[in-house]
A and B are shown apart, each in its own frame.
Chain A
Amino acid sequence: MRTPFHKIPDSLIRILVVFVILVGLALLLRFLLPSSLKDRPTFVAATVEREMAKPVRYAGSNVCADCHEEFNLKKTGYHRNLSCETCHGAARDHAENPTEAKPTMPRLREFCVRCHTYNASRPTGFPQINPASHNPLKPCIVCHNPHDPKPLTVPHECGACHAEIERTKSFSPHVQLACATCHNVPEQHKVSPRVITATIPGEREFCGKCHAKDSQVKETPKIDLATHGEKYLCWQCHYPHMPEVD
């Protein structure tokens, strides 16, 4: 193209003018619009402030101790790890206005049953009952003080806390074996279950009492204790609560 330096084509000039106008408009908008007057840290700070100012509905467990002595009662019982609001619901309003706003006071069976009904997925050791057979229709709080819940009678069998194992065992060939047959359970286990644990048999000969070839017990499957299962303890292969063979 033989355009001399000072002779820029007319079309290009027009395009450049339009371009400059558009860029100018964009810059103008950027500096005029209120939101673009703020930068990112301002947005962030404003959002954080808004978030922090949102209303609180749960008061937190310590607040109840100021007025309610049930809090102290709860400290040593089985419900010591629960917050008051776990059962009583959001109580911040009540903490600020004790006479006007009252938290809920659950008295119906359905409430306790929600945590304590039997479910196979619940971890072993968590007390579970079958609501249909465990004192049906009776409100739980008649027998169990919710702030210091104790079973009325000390459970002699283990199914109160180990419900899934009890049920599994009840379908199995070991249904007639009491838990205490194989496990030594110190009394303390019922009070501090995670600290004081029950024992499990540590020798093959223990199971051999019923299952060795020379055992006098009738109608149990018999194996040669010397060779069967090599070096393993019996429960390392066979689940004792539902013993199966391949």
Chain B
Amino acid sequence: MDRRKFVTKLSFLLVPGGVIGTFLKNASARAAELYNPSKHYYGMGIQVNKCIGCGRCVEACKEENAVPKDPFYFRTWVERYLIKKDGTCTVQNIDGRISGSVETGNEKEIMRSFFVPKLCNQCDNPPCVQVCPVGATFKTEDGVVLVDDNRCIGCRYCIQACPYGARYLDPERETADKCTFCYHRITKGMLPACVEVCPTQARIFGDVRSSASPLTRFKRMNKLHVLKPSLNTEPKVAYSDLDGEVR
């Protein structure tokens, strides 16, 4: 066969081959885009020394997750601690902003004062999962504790069992609800809304198993604490610079 005929015949193969090849490449790219939960295990770090108590995280969470705007339902919130020289400790909620009427007191009396962001700790040994009578709340393969809206019967046992006050009853759906680490965002490679808008990077989100991530650096460079360790809930939210007065 002469060269022209060869090239013609080859091109007849190449073009469909190219189309099929592109199709396969796109398909594998799509398959790679399909989320694989076994490849991730999520956790969060909170640098208490960086939190300025602006409350943008609280607002962003309510916006992103359609949480009722009333001050009775919070997936995340910020606490303000004021420890005076005489040892008394006062705690207040930052309801999404520092209101003008927040009492700072005379600077002379302050020994320490700081803000502490709180949220669901996505425990590894979650008491809420243990007590749910119908198994509506469960831990996913990637370490996030979710609530099945269609199964939850609204008995509120999980809300009683959470030592951190992270859960509430959604008033419209009458089912239990809580922070999900913005599961719909993190499974697409985005950050949770609260982490996204924090102006000082006080909140750090990542994969606890990764070797190179902001969370890894956080774990390396800080002494870490968790809330209520004696209850053995194995929280996955780690705090650095956590004061002993924080409950």
Contact = CB atoms under 8 A, between A and B. Distances in A.
Interface string B46-77: 00011111111000100111000000000000
A56 interface: yes
A85 B114 contact: no
Nearest to A44: B138
Given A43-B151, A57-B63, A114-B97, A48 B140 contact: yes
A123 B81 contact: no
B76 to A, nearest CB: 14
B148 interface: yes
Interface stretch (A163-171, A174-182, A198-206, A229-237): A163-171
A40 B191 CA distance: 29
B53 A121 contact: yes
Nearest to B37: A48
Contacts of A51: 146, 180, 183-184
B104 A120 contact: yes
A207 interface: no
Contact of B197 (A83, A120, A123): A83
B196 A43 contact: no
A47 interface: yes
B4 interface: no
Given A43-B148, A44-B138, A81-B199, A164 B49 contact: no
Contacts of B107: 120, 164, 167-168, 171
B64 A90 contact: yes
B98 A117 contact: yes
Nearest to B111: A239
A121 B146 contact: no
A225 to B, nearest CB: 27
B123 interface: no
A45 B49 CA distance: 39
- Among B63, B80, B193, B197, max chain A CB count under 10 A is at B197
A115 B199 CA distance: 9
B188 interface: yes
Given A79-B199, A82-B199, A121-B82, 8 more contacts: A47-B146, A54-B65, A85-B60, A85-B196, A89-B63, A115-B199, A119-B102, A123-B51
Interface residues of A, number: 40
A48 to B, nearest CB: 6
A227 interface: no
Contacts of A81: 199-201
Interface string A198-242: 000000000000000000000000000000000000000000001
Contacts of A50: 149
A86 B104 contact: no
A121 B188 contact: no
Contacts of A58: 60, 63-64, 185, 190, 193, 196-197
Contacts of B149: 47, 50
Contacts of B188: 52, 56
Interface in B140-177: 140, 146-151
- Among A44, A51, A89, A114, max chain B CB count under 10 A is at A51
Contacts of A130: none
B115 A121 contact: yes
Contacts of B198: 86
Contacts of A171: 106-108
A53 interface: yes
A51 B196 CA distance: 19
B193 to A, nearest CB: 5
A160 B147 CA distance: 46
A112 to B, nearest CB: 11
A110 to B, nearest CB: 10
A237 B35 CA distance: 56
Interface string A53-85: 111111011000000000000000001011101
